[in-house]
A and B are shown apart, each in its own frame.
Chain A
């Protein structure tokens, strides 16, 4: 679980964060105002905030064969044990009356059956049902394996990865941005959201605490006294609406599920990220 990492993170964060909090009625609007760290004792680690934007699953996973069998069995047991509903009682009643009518050939008294029989109702319902077309579970993007589209793998969590340049090389990573003094790390993550999408992607942050971290040292050539390495803190957000405008092979972003992460990320980075990615 990511809860222990969260706790150790807070231990790290306490060192450079002070709490002068303004209390509001709901926990979401509590803000922590920060002091910029005095320039004399600046930490040699560069701080980055990163955003783990997830699209939650839209449909449930299909049942495994065992689950399907069990479900069928339970359904059978339930139908056998259940009592008749109003509609079924009415249908049985009318069936009996019809049979009696046929047998007796001429029965005036029981002619007040009403205009619509239960059978007619069932027929109309059946017609309406045939007209209904449910959406496809396996979409076209699935078939084409177009990873930049949001419409694939509707039963899984999809995470956004972007391709960025670090030094000379291009790396796939979660979108990240440098922390600026005077803002919380969560605000850094929200800034990423604005920067990423020109067309308003709305995401919901579930909490103020980061869900994971990654730390790496810069290559020896670039290391100086005041710049040893980089610490990245990840924040999770759930995507509500919106998407990137450009899709296709040239896009610099990709929506992947947990298994496909290995195709894109570096091993150490991947190991740290997998710890906080939840998969149903």
Chain B
């Protein structure tokens, strides 16, 4: 008897306390705007599913999912001609130098110049380094002696849709800003240029040779 009474009383106390608590919360919520104006917001309510603000920060469902592009995208070599305004297709600007820092910094300059002049830069890559051993014949003796090792570095900046009227000015800028020791070569992009970047695959070549 007393137990149930106690329980009932307990329940009643709980109910009362809940009500009191909700009243208290209500008061605190009312006070919230004032204390949030101060800077630090004291959140006293969590985002339950039943609350209207549930899922307020969700954005992932709005963003479109991009499929990761396959690396072997082939660019069609085309020359766009629009009446008297000619546009070049894809051009490769090759910068070759013995000094790597010089080649890289000039490639960087060319890239930034293109960005600035709103010329579309497709890619900016490096060709593999070529090492050359310079052998010298000494005054006495017949044997060639190793004199020095020279490394040739090449950087390529690939641009597209350069208008012919502007190409003239662009090439002049490139040429007059060329540092000493860097060779500049501007060519159209071809299949061989594209294929030259890939490593040779001897097994594949062997198999092909066997087939033929």
A206 and B167 contacting across the interface, CB-CB below 8 Å: yes
Complexed CA–CA distance, A30 and B173 (Å): 24
| 0/1 interface trace, chain B 70-88, chain A, CB 8 Å (1 if under) | 0000000001000111101
Collect the chain B residues with CB atoms within 8 Å of residue A257's CB.
Answer: none
> Chain B interface: which size bin?
20 to 34
Complexed CA–CA distance, A27 and B188 (Å): 10
From B85, B167, B171, A10 is in contact (CB under 8 Å) with B85
Q: Which residue of A lies closest to B170 (CB)?
A: A206
Contacts A7-B165, A10-B84, A209-B164; A157 near B180 (Cβ below 8 A) = no
**Interface contact tally, CB-CB below 8 A:** 52
From B168, B179, B188, A207 is in contact (CB under 8 Å) with B168
Beyond contacts A27-B86, A206-B171: 20 other A-B pairs, Cβ-Cβ < 8 A, are: A2-B169, A3-B169, A6-B165, A6-B166, A10-B165, A19-B83, A26-B188, A27-B79, A27-B88, A60-B179, A206-B168, A206-B172, A207-B164, A209-B164, A209-B165, A278-B169, A278-B172, A278-B176, A280-B176, A280-B177
Complexed CA–CA distance, A206 and B172 (Å): 8
Complexed CA–CA distance, A56 and B175 (Å): 8
Q: Is the interface of A mostly helix, strand, loop or mixed?
A: loop
A-B pairs, top 9 by smallest CB distance, nearest first, are A207-B168, A6-B165, A206-B168, A209-B165, A280-B176, A206-B171, A3-B166, A56-B175, A10-B84
Collect the chain B residues with CB atoms within 8 Å of residue A60's CB.
Answer: 179-180
Tally chain A residues at the interface, Cβ within 8 Å: 26
Q: Is A14 an interface residue (CB 8 A)?
A: yes
How many whole Å from B67's CB to the nearest CB in chain A?
36
Collect the chain B residues with CB atoms within 8 Å of residue A6's CB.
Answer: 165-166
Collect the chain A residues with CB atoms within 8 Å of residue B171's CB.
Answer: 206
How many whole Å from A231's CB to the nearest CB in chain B?
18
Identify which of residues 122-169 in chain A touch chain B, using a CB-to-CB cut-off of 8 Å.
157
Collect the chain B residues with CB atoms within 8 Å of residue A213's CB.
Answer: none
How many whole Å from A4's CB to the nearest CB in chain B?
10
Collect the chain A residues with CB atoms within 8 Å of residue B173's CB.
Answer: 278
B168 and A57 contacting across the interface, CB-CB below 8 Å: no
24 pairs of residues in contact across A and B, judged by CB atoms under 8 Å: A1-B169, A2-B169, A3-B169, A6-B166, A7-B165, A10-B85, A10-B165, A19-B83, A27-B86, A27-B164, A56-B175, A60-B179, A60-B180, A206-B168, A206-B172, A209-B165, A209-B168, A211-B169, A236-B168, A236-B172, A238-B172, A238-B175, A278-B169, A278-B172
Identify which of residues 92-146 in chain B touch chain A, using a CB-to-CB cut-off of 8 Å.
none
Q: Which residue of B lies closest to A128 (CB)?
A: B147
